[in-house]
Structure formats: C-alpha cells, structure tokens
C-alpha cells in the first residue's frame, strides 16, 4: 500500500519530467491543488467503501459530508466564543468530535430506517442527502443570528490549527510545497484509507464484514451478527466521510462557511467508489486524479463557461467508462458486493 | 461403545396445527452411519434442524454422550460439535475455500489465511478430499462446494455430522467418492447421520436405518438385516382410503405423445432421460416421483419453458386434427394451442401470479394481449375474477385485494381457477394441493375431475401417493429423470410404486459396495 503511494508520487514526477514541466511552478501548483481537492473525496470514498462492504448503499453520503462540515463549524464556533484564549488541542478535538457526532447521528438514522425498519436504501439515502444539505445551509445561514450577530462565519482562531503545515515543508523546495504542505487531515485521509484496506483484507472482522455485504444469510448462518456489522460499518463509514466535510470547511476554506459551498463533491465521492472498484488503496490515487479533473478548468487558460462545464463533467464520464469496462471484463472480484442495496431479514420459517 | 454420541427421546415439533415430528426417538453411536429415510414431508429435515439448533423441539430431550443438553442456536450446536451440511450451500461466492471455512470463527490467534490453508490441506489429506484451499467458490463444481461445506464443519471440530440429502446434486461417480470419504470418517470415530430417500444409497452406505413417515417415527433397523421391500413398506405405509370421486374415463384419445425426451441441466446432469409416454384426453395422468426426479422439467418441456436436448413432443390438435410438434415452439404459441400449465412451486407466487397485483390484474396477465384497443379491457377479467371467487370459494375481502395478502390455499385456487377458465385441452397441475387443508384439496380434486369429464387431458404431479392412487387413471413413475413404469391407478399397489420411485437408477454405481 505504501508502494501505491510512492508510485503515485513517482508517476506524477514522471509526467512532469516527460512534459518538460520540471521547473514549471504552475504544474506543481496544479498537483498540489489536485491533492487538496482530492482529500474530501478520499474521505467520502473510504467511508462509503466501508459502508457498501456491509451491503448498505448509502446515498446519503453527500448530506452526511455537509453535516460533518457544519457540525465541526458549530462545535468550533461555540468553543471559540466561549473562551478568550482557546487551547490548541481543544481547537482540534472539539470540531473533530462534533463532526463525528453529527455524521454518526445521520448514519444512525440511515441504519434505523434501512436495517431495522428495512426501508428502501436508495430512497432513504436520497432523503438524507436532501436533509443534510438543508440542515447544513440552515445552520450555516442562521448560526450568527442565534447569537445576535451579523456577517459571515469565520473561525479565525481554530482554522489555523487545521491548516498547519509540516514544519519542514517549506525548506524542501518544490517537493515540499507540492506534497508536504497540507494540514494534518490530508495525511489522515491517506492513513485511514490504508488502514481500511488492511482491515478489509487482512483481519477476521474485515472478512466477516465482506461476507455480510456479499451474502448476509450465509454470514448469519456462521454466527456473524449481521445487524451489528451493518450498523457499525455504516456509522464508522459516515464518520470518516464526515471528516471530508470537516477538511473542506476548516482547511480548504479556512474556517468559513458558504451555503452550498461544498458543491457536488459528495456525489463525486460516490462515483469514486465505483471508479476505485471498492478498494480503499485505489481510492487514494483515484481521488487525486478526480481532484485534478475537478480543478483542470482553472489551469487551462482561455476557457469559455460552457467548456468549463464540459471539463467538470470529466470525473463522471470517466466513472461511466470504468463501469462499462468492469462489466465487460466481468471479473467477479471487481463487482460490487453482491447484496448491495438489499435489506436482509432472517426469514420467518 | 455403550453411550450414544447423540440420542433423541420422544421429540415432538409442531408448526401451528401441523405436527412435523411426533414422538421421535433416535440414537447414533460413534463410528456409525445412520440413514434417516422417509418420503418428502415426512419430517426428516425438521428433525435434523432441531439437532443443529435451527428449530427448538416442543417436547422431548436430546442427549449427547449420555448427558442431557439444550440446543437453542446453531452456535450451541457447534459447541456440542454437531455439524450440519445443508442441501443448499451457504458459501460466499467471491471468497476462497479457506476464507469460507474460517468465516465467522472467533479465535485469539493472529488471523493468517496461509495457516488456515495449511490446516485445510491437512484435513483434506486425512479424509481423502480433493480441494484447493485457494480456489474461489464461484469457480467450483457442485461437488467441490459440498466438499467445502463438509471441511467447514470438520474444521470447526465437529464429530457428529448431519448431511441433508448430500447426493441429490451429485453425479454417481461423485456420490461414490463422497461415500468413500464418509466411510473413512466413520472409521475415524465420527457419528454420521445422512438424510436420504434413495434406497440403494441407504443399503450401500449405512449401518442402521431409521424411518420416518408423515412425522411419525416408524423404527430403526440394522441395514444388514433388512431389504428394499421392507424399507419401502416402512416408508410409505399401508394404503389409506381417501374417497376421492373418480369417474370412468371416456373417449380416450391421445392428446400429447412424448418420445425420447431428454433434458440436461447447466451442471451437465440429465434431468430427464429418454422419457416417453402419452397423455390422453378424458383421463388424469398422475406423475409420481421423489422431489427433483424431473417432474418440473417434464412439465416445463411441454409448456415450452425448457431447453430440450433430445426427443419430440407431439400435440394432437383436436380442432384441426393435425399433429403439431411442440418442441421449439414459444410458450405463447403452445398456450394458444390450448396447453395450460398451472405450476405451484415452493413459493406459490414465484411462477404464475404477481403478489402485489390484485386478483383482477392477475387474471389479465393471461388475457391482456387479446384486447384490440390500446386501453385495457377490465370488464371481462373482473367478471372472471368474481366467478372464480364465488365458484371456488376463495376467501378474500374483494377482487381488488393484492394476491400476496391471501392465504396459500386461496392463492392456489386463484391460480388453478385462472388456468381452467381458459378451457384448455391439456391441463398440467404440479403440486396444486401443496400446503392446502383437506377441504380446499378436495375442491381442487373435483375441479380436475370436472376437467377430465369435459375431455381435457389432465396431467397431475403430486406428492402424496394415496392421492395419486385414488385420483389418477394412470400413474407414471419417475425416478432420477427416467420413467420406471406406468401403472394403472385403480388397484395400484402403494409399496410397489414406492419401490419404483426409489430404486430404479444408479444401480451400477454401487455394485462394488
């Protein structure tokens, strides 16, 4: 897995070299921007992969990522306003915990509806997305009014902790600027993806989780608690995805909230799951690729607005192509979990 | 050995009013293979499910090594080292054999699939299995999948093994291989129970035979001291009189002639092997056989739903007088000729009715093509639905009630009623009384008889021999896809039919035993 990472770096460097960009700062900026754009997608995709491996197709992820972001903002705002001299550690822990709480609550709603009450997963997920985006915009738009203030949210004291670079990044020239200049959440995204891959492929619990997503009746018969696995993987997956929202509001926008600012990144994360054929390690490289495609229009000079929209379509077009390719190759390992989207209930005999 | 590995005393299990097992006693010793023999629905699987923790007995006790135990869940059964190999494999297709085997096991040891593979290999060698632990299940043959299931329970340390009809899906060669392995396990001191209804297998493999009939425990005999006819008699019992009205067949004319019909399923096994017979108008032709002997394939072949490997099906058309070849015709064409199939599968709604649609809409499934305009004509189907409801006494709030809300018997009446309403020339009914109470069953028998009197050629696939003997004019007996005989329904001998059902095929595969 670390090999994959190194490979990413080597490949990008190679592209730079081949294209003769080695001294071109714009291209380094582009790579850097691609990674920054990729991080929220990677969080979302890793979370969704873990969720989908249990057979739960959680289309509520875009909403959950909104909630993950706004919960962090609310937590951070309340802390920033409660004390004159915020403590560094709490500046990170409080937004993190409130983000976790918000995403976990959303996942709990999803699980209660789809696992316990066996409501259709697609309907529930779509409803949660609408709900999450709505709640996010409502809180974002009215948080200051609750406290009788005007203006817009901006967490000046907390955000810098999320944006802090590695101390030696600037001294390493272009390499440092391109690969080491991110806040800690970016590195966490990669670590979580690698851990998720290890968990799914090398542990007993991971094996059980995949069994639940493939064939819950079989898993049940071998004594695996299907309901527990579905709840836990969906909740943990959502908490990871929520971090993507948190990264966006704390690091990317620097503690400011704009309504609908997160955009369609949640859907992109779901597309990324398919693109990465349900493998967290593939998601790492793919997320940076998607991030690059997302940013491409800015780095191509002289585009009209309609061409910009066409370029923005690229990630989705690539995903459709991947779907066609994997269905044509028809390799069983590359297929989605067999019971994805289906509710399980032990039949009344 | 003195103490039985597992002993059941006076086990009774009821599902609602139906008694699935009544006062069953059974014991198996280590180093012994016991066959549990019985017809379909005699309660064999129910009994074994109580040992493996899927059901809990209403009355009676279970002893393991002389100590009374309570088995409440499959996990309890594992803990008592009981392993059951079900008829339907419970395996994850994209996992390897080793992954499937270790799935769900809790252990404090470090999880390493290579160690598991080695252990699996060791077990394979010990008993003579042939299995690659790293092979994915979806690449395996049926017999390999079964091997995975067996090793799975052995890996969990089972020393009481229960196999539910393990040979149903195997070729004779694979069966022989399995039997060799089972004997080796017996010699290694394991207690083995094998559920089956194939007599030759019982005689070839087991040390003792326990027989169940309609939930009742009939007895246990030593295999060495018994023979096929004694076992058959224990299995099917004495004839019971049912008093079904049966009129004498009139104006017998051949309606369908089947010649040399052969079908092969995707696994390459012959489901029908050179079947020849004719169905005549004005009589009921019964088809008897153990479940899965090719009944379904036979009816589906006639209805145009099966891929036919070889043979011909000639339909003697009463309207034109011509002989039509049904093989290769589409199901719709065959239906238009007047051949009707009412098949009642295990899940009654699976074939023929749509559960979420109401009775009227289900009537229209068969007639909507007739309409001339682009709008559906609802009047006639509505009349038909109401007629069926009143004629067959279907209990339903209204004709607009979704079919899935009706009870099983009423669903069947709707299905059979619809097929009869089309005034067919050939009516095929498979298990039309499955799960029905006595009154509803008689209503269906009367319907079939009425059709017969109208000159329809009725083909009736049934499970209960008593019913077949009382209802049908002739009975065709299938055994492993072959016709083992056609007997006259009047005066047919029940144990003779039972013998024909169980002991026709596969003889040569066991002769070296």
d(CA B55, CA A349): 9
Closest CA in chain B for residue A216:
B92
From A212's Cα to the closest Cα of chain B, the distance in A is 9
Q: Which two tokens stand for residue A249?
A: 């509001």
Per-residue pLDDT of chain A (349 residues; tens, 9 = 90+): 455 556 666 666 666 565 555 456 788 888 889 999 999 999 999 999 999 999 999 999 999 999 999 999 999 999 998 888 888 899 999 999 999 999 999 999 999 999 999 999 999 999 999 999 999 999 998 888 888 888 788 888 899 999 888 877 777 777 788 888 899 999 999 999 999 999 999 999 999 999 999 999 889 888 889 999 999 999 999 999 999 999 999 999 988 898 888 988 999 999 999 989 999 999 999 999 999 988 888 888 888 888 888 888 888 888 888 888 877 877 778 888 999 999 888 754 3
- Test B93 with A202 for CB contact under 8 angstroms: no
- For B23-58, the pLDDT digits (tens) are 999 999 999 999 998 876 788 888 988 998 888 899
Predicted local distance difference test score (pLDDT) of residue B513 = 31
pLDDT number for residue A348 = 40
Q: Rounded to an integer, what distance in angstroms lies between the CA atom of residue A209 and that of residue A50?
A: 9
Angle between helices A226-247 and A265-275 (to 10 degrees): 130
pTM: 0.77
Rounded Cα–Cα distance for residues B328 and A343 (Å): 40
- What is the distance in angstroms between the Cα of B104 and the nearest Cα belonging to chain A? 5
> Nearest CA to CA, how far is A1 from chain B (Å)?
18
Report residues of chain B scoring pLDDT below 70. Answer: 1, 40, 239-242, 341-351, 368-371, 408, 435-437, 503-513
pLDDT digit string, tens, across residues B289-331:
887 788 888 988 888 888 888 899 988 888 788 888 888 888 8
Tell me which architecture the domain covering B253-510 has in CATH: 3-Layer(aba) Sandwich (3.40)
Residues of B in contact with A224 (CB under 8 A): 103-104
B374 touches A at CB < 8 Å: no
Among A53, A202, A204, A229, which would you mutate to test the B interface (most chain B Cβ atoms within 10 Å of its Cβ)? A204
- Which residue of chain B comes nearest to A219, CA vs CA? B104
Least CA distance to B138: which residue of chain A? A332
- Supply A122's token pair: 């697609």
Q: Please tell me the distance in Å from A200's CA to the nearest CA on chain B.
A: 12
Q: B6-236 in CATH: which number?
A: 3.40.50.300
B93 at A interface, C-beta within 8 A: yes
Residue ranges of the domains in chain B? 6-236, 253-510
Phi-psi region of B330 (alpha: psi -120 to 50; beta: other; left: phi over 0): beta
- Using a CB-CB distance cutoff of 8 angstroms, which residues of chain A are in contact with residue B94? 214, 332-333, 335, 338
Q: Is B402 on the interface with A (CB under 8 A)?
A: no
Structure tokens at B45: 């699987």
Confirm if B185 and B129 have CB atoms less than 8 A apart. no
d(CA B468, CA B447): 15
| Residue spans of beta strands (DSSP E) within B17-72 | 18-28, 32-37, 59-64, 67-69
- Output phi, psi for B354, to 5 deg: -110, 115
Model pLDDT, residue A229: 96
Give yes or no for A329 touching B (CB within 8 A): no
Looking at residue A245, its pLDDT comes to: 96
Measured between CA atoms, the residue of chain B closest to residue A226 is B104
Q: Which of B78, B94, B104 sits opposite A208 (nearest CB)?
A: B104
Using CA atoms, how far apart are residues B200 and B213, in angstroms rounded to an integer? Answer: 18
Q: Residue B173's CB: how many other CB atoms inside 10 A?
A: 10
CATH class of A2-17+25-334: mainly alpha
Would the CA dihedral through B87, B92, B96, B99 be positive or negative? negative
Query: Does B155 lie at the interface with A, CB-CB under 8 angstroms?
Result: no
**Which pLDDT score is estimated for B510?**
35
Interface of B with A in 283-312 (CB under 8 A): none
Nearest CA among A194, A209, A88, A66 for reference residue A138: A66
Cβ–Cβ of A218/B106 closer than 8 Å? no
Nearest by CB to residue A204, choosing from B75, B92, B111, is B111
**Does B90 sit within 8 Å of A222, measured CB to CB?**
yes
A332 and B75: CB-CB below 8 Å?
no
Q: Which residues of A touch B105 (CB under 8 A)?
A: 204, 222
Nearest residue of A to residue B103, measured between CA atoms? A208
SS3 state of residue A297: helix
**DSSP notation for B286-355:** EEE-STTSSHHHHHHHHHT-S---EEEEEEE-TTT--EEE-TT--HHHHHHTTEEEEE--SSTTSSS--T
Phi first, then psi: what are they for B240, rounded to 5°?
Answer: -115, 140
Residues of A in contact with B136 (CB under 8 A): 332
Q: Does B94 touch chain A (CB under 8 A)?
A: yes
Q: Which residues contact B491 (CB under 8 A, 6 or more apart)?
A: none
- Distance (Å, rounded) from C-alpha B350 to C-alpha B461? 18
What is the per-residue DSSP string for B369-432? GG-SSSS---HHHHHHHHHHHHHTT---S-TTSBGGGS-HHHHHHHHHHHHHHT--SEEEEEST
Helices (H), B71-163: 74-79, 97-102, 113-127, 142-155
Domain boundaries along the sequence of chain A = 2-17+25-334
Which residues of chain B lie closer than 8 angstroms to A348, CB-CB? none
Q: Who among B54, B94, B106 is closest to A214 (CB)?
A: B94
> B-contacting residues of A 285-314, CB under 8 Å?
none
Of B333, B266, B256, B336, the residue nearest B299 (C-alpha): B256
The answer to whether the beta carbons of residues B295 and B286 sit under 8 Å apart is no
> What is chain B's alpha carbon radius of gyration, rounded to the nearest angstrom?
25
Do domains B6-236 and B253-510 share one topology? The answer is yes
Confidence at residue A18, expressed as pLDDT on a 0 to 100 scale: 58
């Amino acid at each position: 897995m670390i090999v994959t990472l190194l490979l990413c770096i080597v490949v990008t460097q190679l592209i730079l070299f081949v294209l003769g960009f080695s001294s071109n700062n714009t291209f380094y900026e582009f790579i850097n921007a691609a990674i920054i754009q990729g991080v929220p997608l990677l969080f979302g995709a890793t979370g969704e992969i873990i969720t989908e491996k249990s057979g739960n197709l959680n289309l509520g992820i875009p909403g959950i990522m909104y909630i993950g972001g706004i919960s962090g903002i609310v937590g951070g705002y309340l802390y920033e306003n409660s004390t004159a001299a915020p403590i560094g550690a709490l500046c990170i822990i409080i937004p993190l915990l409130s983000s976790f709480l918000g995403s976990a609550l959303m996942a709990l709603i999803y699980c209660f509806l789809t696992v316990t009450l066996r409501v259709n997963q697609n309907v529930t997920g779509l409803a949660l997305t609408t709900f999450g985006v709505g709640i996010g915009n409502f809180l974002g738009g009215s948080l200051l009014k609750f406290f009788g203030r005007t203006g817009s949210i901006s967490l000046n004291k907390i955000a810098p902790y999320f944006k802090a670079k590695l101390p030696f990044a600037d001294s390493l020239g272009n390499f440092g600027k391109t690969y080491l200049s991110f806040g800690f959440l970016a590195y966490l995204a990669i670590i979580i993806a690698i851990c998720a891959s290890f968990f799914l492929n090398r542990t007993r619990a991971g094996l059980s989780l995949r069994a639940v997503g493939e064939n819950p009746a079989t898993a049940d018969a071998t004594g695996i608690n299907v309901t527990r696995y579905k709840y836990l993987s969906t909740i943990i997956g959502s908490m990871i995805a929520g971090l993507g929202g948190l990264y966006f509001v704390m690091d990317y926008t620097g503690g400011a909230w704009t309504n609908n600012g997160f955009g369609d990144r949640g859907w992109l994360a779901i597309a990324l799951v398919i693109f990465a054929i349900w493998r967290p390690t593939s998601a790492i490289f793919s997320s940076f690729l998607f991030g690059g495609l997302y940013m491409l229009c800015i780095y191509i000079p002289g585009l009209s607005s309609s061409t910009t929209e066409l370029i923005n379509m690229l990630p989705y077009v690539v995903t459709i192509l991947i779907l066609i390719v994997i269905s044509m190759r028809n390799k069983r390992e590359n297929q989605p979990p067999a019971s994805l989207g289906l509710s399980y209930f032990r039949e009344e005999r | 050995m003195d103490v039985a590995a597992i002993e059941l005393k006076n086990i009774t299990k009821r599902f609602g009013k139906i008694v699935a097992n009544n006062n069953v006693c059974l014991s198996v010793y280590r180093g012994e293979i016991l066959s549990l023999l019985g017809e379909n629905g005699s309660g064999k699987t129910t009994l074994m499910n109580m040992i493996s923790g899927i059901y809990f007995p209403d009355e009676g006790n279970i002893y393991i090594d002389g100590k009374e135990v309570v088995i409440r869940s499959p996990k309890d059964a594992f803990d008592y080292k009981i392993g059951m190999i079900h008829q339907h494999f419970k395996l994850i297709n994209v996992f390897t054999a080793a992954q499937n085997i270790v799935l769900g096991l809790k252990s404090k040891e470090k999880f390493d699939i290579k160690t598991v593979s080695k252990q699996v290999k060791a077990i394979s060698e010990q008993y003579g299995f042939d299995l690659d632990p790293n092979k994915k299940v979806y690449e395996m043959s049926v017999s390999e999948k079964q091997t995975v299931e067996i090793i799975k329970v052995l890996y969990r340390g089972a020393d009481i093994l229960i196999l539910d009809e393990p040979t149903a899906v195997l070729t004779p060669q694979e069966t022989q291989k399995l039997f060799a392995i089972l004997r080796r396990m017996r010699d290694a001191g394991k207690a083995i129970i094998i559920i089956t209804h194939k007599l030759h297998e019982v005689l070839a493999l087991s040390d003792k035979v326990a027989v169940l009939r309609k939930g009742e425990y009939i007895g246990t005999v030593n295999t060495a001291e018994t023979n096929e006819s004694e076992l058959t008699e224990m299995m099917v019992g004495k004839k019971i009189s049912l008093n079904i009205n049966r009129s004498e067949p009139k104006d017998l004319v051949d309606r369908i002639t089947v010649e040399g019909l052969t079908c092969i399923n995707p696994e390459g096994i012959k489901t029908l092997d050179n079947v020849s017979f004719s169905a005549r108008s004005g009589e009921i032709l019964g088809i008897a056989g153990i479940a899965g002997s090719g009944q379904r394939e036979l009816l589906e072949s006639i209805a145009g739903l099966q891929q036919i490997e070889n043979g011909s099906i000639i339909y003697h058309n009463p309207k034109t007088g011509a002989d039509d070849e049904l093989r290769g015709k589409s199901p719709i064409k065959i239906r238009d000729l007047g051949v009707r199939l009412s098949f009642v599968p295990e899940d009654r709604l699976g074939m023929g009715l749509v559960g979420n649609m109401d009775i009227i809409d289900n009537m229209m499934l068969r007639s909507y093509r007739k309409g001339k305009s682009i709008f559906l004509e609802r009047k006639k189907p509505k009349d038909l639905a109401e007629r069926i409801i009143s004629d067959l006494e279907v209990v339903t709030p209204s004709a607009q009630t979704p079919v899935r809300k009706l009870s099983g018997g009423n669903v069947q009446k709707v299905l059979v009623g619809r097929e009869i309403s089309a005034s067919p020339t050939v009516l095929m009914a498979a298990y039309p009384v499955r799960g029905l109470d006595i009154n509803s069953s008689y209503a269906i028998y009367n319907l079939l008889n009425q059709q017969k009197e109208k000159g329809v050629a009725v083909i009736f696939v049934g499970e209960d021999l008593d019913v077949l003997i009382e209802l049908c004019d002739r009975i065709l007996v299938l055994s492993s896809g072959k016709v083992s005989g056609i007997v006259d329904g009047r005066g047919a001998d029940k144990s003779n039919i039972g013998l024909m059902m169980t002991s026709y095929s596969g003889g040569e595969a066991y002769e070296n035993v």
